[in-house]
């Protein structure tokens, strides 16, 4: 929470505290639920490589994140520590370090994921065309089921 700025520091009122990153928040949530950095570090072992993540590294992610993101083995260790799927940690790392937010497509096969990835670079007009084709297919499927 920021207080009112004094006359000598008028720009301070416009500054806000930095928003914690997505991975920082996941670790903080575990701490808020009663875990400790040490217990998290004790569980932070990548099942494939055996690589671990230390208590100081976990503290740094929350309090003063490093410039570089964790490696894939470190992400796997953090996933084991937090009891979350690797993909959840990977998405949090992408959001925190790359400012990239992935959208999960649940319940679809790989073909649909490929189509969505293909549409990512399309123009607005091309996206509208694809949307109409998809909606037409959905209407035809619903009508055929009646």
pLDDT at residue 9 in the model? 45
Question: Which class for 77: exposed (0-12), middle (13-18), buried (19 or more C-beta within 10 A)?
Answer: buried
- pLDDT-derived band at 144 (thresholds 50, 70, 90) equals confident
Summarised one tens digit per residue, pLDDT across range 31-85 is 999 999 999 999 999 999 999 999 999 999 999 999 999 999 999 999 999 999 9
Contact present, 7 and 1 (Cβ < 8 Å): no
In this predicted structure, the answer to whether residue 14 has a pLDDT above a threshold of 70 is no
pLDDT at residue 45 in the model? 97
Kindly report the pTM of this predicted structure. 0.61
């Amino acid at each position: 929470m920021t207080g009112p700025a004094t006359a000598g520091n008028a720009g301070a009122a416009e500054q806000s505290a930095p928003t914690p990153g997505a991975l920082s928040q996941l670790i903080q949530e575990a701490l808020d639920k009663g875990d400790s950095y040490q217990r998290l570090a004790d569980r932070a072992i990548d099942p494939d490589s055996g690589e671990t993540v230390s208590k100081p590294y976990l503290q740094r992610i929350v309090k003063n994140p490093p410039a570089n993101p964790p490696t894939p083995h470190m992400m796997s260790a953090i996933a084991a520590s937090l009891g979350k799927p690797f993909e959840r940690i990977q998405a949090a790392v992408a959001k925190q370090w790359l400012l990239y937010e992935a959208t999960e497509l649940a319940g679809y096969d790989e073909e649909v994921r490929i189509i969505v990835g293909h549409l990512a670079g399309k123009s607005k007009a091309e996206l509208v065309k694809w949307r109409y084709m998809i909606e037409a297919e959905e209407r035809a499927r619903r009508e055929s089921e009646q």
